[in-house]
Amino acid sequence: MRLAPGIAVAVTALALTACSSGSNSSNESASTSTGAPSTSSAAPTTTPTQGDCAAMYLSQFTLRQKLAQLLTVGVTGEADAENVVKTEQIGGIFIGSWTDKAMLAQHQVDAVQKASRTPLMVTIDEEGGRVSRAKDLIGVAPPARSIPGSMSVDEFYTFSLDRAKKLKALGVTVDFAPDVDVSSQPDDSVIGDRSFSDNPDVVVDYAGAFIRAMNDAGVGSVMKHFPGHGSGSGDSHTGAVHTPPLDQLQGKDLVPFRKLVDSGAAVMVGHLDVPGLTDPDRPASISKEAMALLRQGTGYGAAPFEGVIFTDDLGGMAAITNRMTIEEAVEDALVAGADNALWITTDAVPKVLDRLEDAVKTGRLPGAQVDKSVMRMAKFKGSAPHC
């Protein structure tokens, strides 16, 4: 998988130390327990393996901090963001329509970054059209549906690269875009003009150009909404959404995910009930079967997906909130196989983490699975150790 370069500014000092010498505290403890001399000046006799490096990186976190790395939450402004980062070392913040734009316009995110021990994801919904949270700062972009008729793929790449560079200059590290849903529904429907086309190959061409632009600017991108919202029955903000059966998604809705699986983009899984894939009342965002379909790839003719899996918003969309609490939803999503749970407020973070700690300690959420997700997040953010 190709990863977007330069998403993070720096690797934490602790991770660098852990992977550059044999003198960190965890190594000294290991030496003592095996009877070997604990000599901090001794050079390591072997190059650390990838597994060793992962263990060293993970050792900087408590269990609660590891779990916090798997959460992205919406913030109202600098004080809210700084508080949740300082107190819980959350992995990411989300800049929504309700967020004080001084966070970006006045570079307040810089202070929030300094409160984080590892590079913090600063995420935003910036598709263009009616889903554009930074248009006042980087300019207006047309809705996706109008783009194939007005720009070539190369022109759209250039246009998107300029916007991606402007987002990065504001402190944004991840854009929850592009929308790769394939749809012919009316412009004002939940997907509608957010879709590039009802032709999956057109979607692939233009979404691929967008992802390349984000990669080249050093901003992470996120394809959405797996396994395809374009033919869904309604709006998951207001209630349950049912898609056509899985076999009917194969030749249309799943095509962009299949063809762009190794593009370097992460994937957002939607709150979609999919006959032939998800169990009743278990939408894709909390479904083990949906996560396995994406991760393994075999069920829809794709390569295995090695990147980050995000959920759609778990706290403000009735397709989830009508069914369960935020604590239940986050646990279910991570147990199902998501790497990062997204919701739009910070107030529930402590009780969510309390529940997740209990889930690990009681075996509902395997610790090894948590570690894998933390490492995927580190790679996506550019903070994983290189050794």
Q: Nearest CA to 138 among 147, 128, 148?
A: 128
Contact 344, 74 (CB under 8 A): yes
Contact 157, 213 (CB under 8 A): yes
Angle (CA) 145-149-153 rounded to 5° is 90
C-alpha span between 23 and 34 (Å, rounded): 16
Strand ranges in 96-201 using DSSP code E only, listed in sequence order: 121-124, 126-128, 131-132, 174-175
Instruction: Let me know if 247 is exposed, middle or buried by CB neighbors in 10 A (0-12, 13-18, 19+).
Output: exposed
229 as an active site residue: the answer is no
Catalytic member of 198, 237, 242, 371: 237
For the chain, give me the number of helices (H) and strands (E)?
17, 10
CA atoms within 13 A on the CB side of 289: 14
Query: Looking at residue 315, what DSSP letter applies?
Result: S
Angstrom CA distances, 200 to 203, 209, 211, 242, 251, stand at 5, 14, 16, 20, 8
Catalytic member of 312, 313, 332, 339: 312
Q: Nearest CA to 148 among 212, 211, 221, 203?
A: 203
C-alpha span between 160 and 195 (Å, rounded): 16
312 as an active site residue: the answer is yes
Residue type, 329: A
Residue type, 219: V
Q: Nearest CA to 316 among 345, 351, 282, 352?
A: 345
SS3 199: coil
**Active-site annotation, residues:** 237, 312
